[in-house]
Amino acid sequence: MVASGRKSSRRAPIPAPSSPPTAPAVAPQSPPQLTSLLALLASSVTLALRFASDRDLLLRPSQTLALDPLLLSAARAVSRLLAQLPLHLQTLTLTSLSLSPPTPSPPLPSSWFLRLLSCPSLPDTAWRDAFRMSKPAFFQLLHALALPAPAASSSSSSLALPPDHKLGAALFRLAHAAPARAVARRFGLPSPAVAARAFYEVCRAIAERLALLLDLAAPDRIARAVPGFCALSLPNCCGALGYARFGEAAVAQALVDAEGRFLDVSVGWNPEMAPAEILPRTKLYTSQTMVLANAPQGELIGGSVPRYFLGPACCPLLPWLVTPYKPVVDATDDLSKESIFNHVHAHGQQVVKNAFGHVRARWRLLEECWKGECQEALPYVVVAGCLLHNFLLQCGEPMTAEVQRSDDADVFVDFEGEKDKEGERIRDVLAAHLSLVSRNQ
């Protein structure tokens, strides 16, 4: 008997491939280059900030004002960059910074202004750069303004400031158009608001204490102006009248002598008003009869002329305000009496343009765009700038080498109204005199 059987076809299970063992988590390592770079960058910004803060007497104010926002922006950028890194990278970077601490500097006074005061060897150019005047003139102005000293019982931060700090902060802001925050930091003031209050307090003091520098009716004020214009071939002239726009908020009318000293200033007129509308509303218009009364006549070959002011073409021709002839289109005779007079007249009018230009160049804040409630203060600040201009001339301070002009902004439409007959006679006499003098030279 044959036994029949079948072998089993089942196979042993094939074991599944085993997965590789899980490696223990390792914190990513800080690339040495990244750590070194961040440390170097942070260290450079820190040292630059320290230099700008502690050694800023070596730089001009315009340089520090331009450098400060750049350094602060760099510092904020580095801080934001560090904040984006993992904590262990921040720690390594800060640790590498602490390995090479900068050499400690000797203690310095707490503010830029105190360092300026405590450095007697500093050249006078540093004061002129900072305040647009020499150190003696600064303290002479401080004495003239008689700013109140700090009151021990006062709780006002502005009143608690020393007078020299108030004056320095105001002049620095006026000279450099510096933001109130930058002024507060340089003068150790508690806040930008305190810097702003000190600025307006000083402007009020200037308007009150130096107002006599614009007293047109003062004895011999007009008489002293005549020789300067005679030297400009304008006999018996005692002032040049001109107009300027400051920002978009105010038009200024000013009368100056031949040396560029302001004799009368009226500011705050609507920019939409023409000078011919402004002039009759000013004190100069109503007081010119008294100012020019009893003055000697100028005897010229063609007749006599009274004392008069030069006026721009945008003003009406009056017996006391001599404006230029209307230019003739395509005129070929440059030696006509009208052309000669207009040439001399323009030379005389340049003194008032230069006076405004010196004020703009010395006090940069006047060229800023004033907005909102600040526009109401602009006229007072312009008057303060003109009074300071006169004060510095009185002190013998040199004029600024730069003359900042805004010729486009100061263009006004020529007056096209009726001409005064006596004004025409005076202008014709002057023109005939100048033409004769020109031919005899």
Q: Give me the average pLDDT of each 10-residue run along the chain (441 residues).
A: 45 52 49 65 69 67 71 70 63 48 49 87 87 95 91 54 95 94 91 94 95 83 91 94 90 96 94 95 91 85 91 96 85 78 96 94 90 83 96 90 69 91 96 87 67
Q: Which of 433, 441, 438 is nearest to 298 (CA)?
A: 433
Residue carrying the six token digits 């008689």: 146
3-class SS string, 380-430:
HHHHHHHHHHHHHHHCCCCCCCCCCCCCCCCCCCCCCCCCCHHHHHHHHHH
pLDDT (0 to 100) of residue 292: 86
Distance (Å, whole) CA 313 – CA 109: 55
pLDDT (0 to 100) of residue 153: 52
pLDDT (0 to 100) of residue 27: 45
| Alpha helices (H) in 28-162, listed in sequence order | 32-54, 61-84, 87-99, 112-117, 124-131, 135-145
Parallel, antiparallel, or unpaired: how do β-strands 303-305 and 262-269 relate?
A: unpaired
β-bridge mates for residue 305, sequence order = 298
Neighbouring residues of 385: CB distance < 8 A, sequence distance ≥ 6: 174, 359, 362, 363, 366
Which two tokens mark 240? 């040049």
Largest CA distance in the chain: 171
* Backbone φ and ψ of 114, nearest 5°: -65, -35
| Alpha helices (H) in 335-373, listed in sequence order | 337-362
Distance (Å, whole) CA 244 – CA 420: 25
pLDDT (0 to 100) of residue 105: 47
pLDDT (0 to 100) of residue 90: 57
pLDDT (0 to 100) of residue 84: 64
| pTM for the model | 0.80
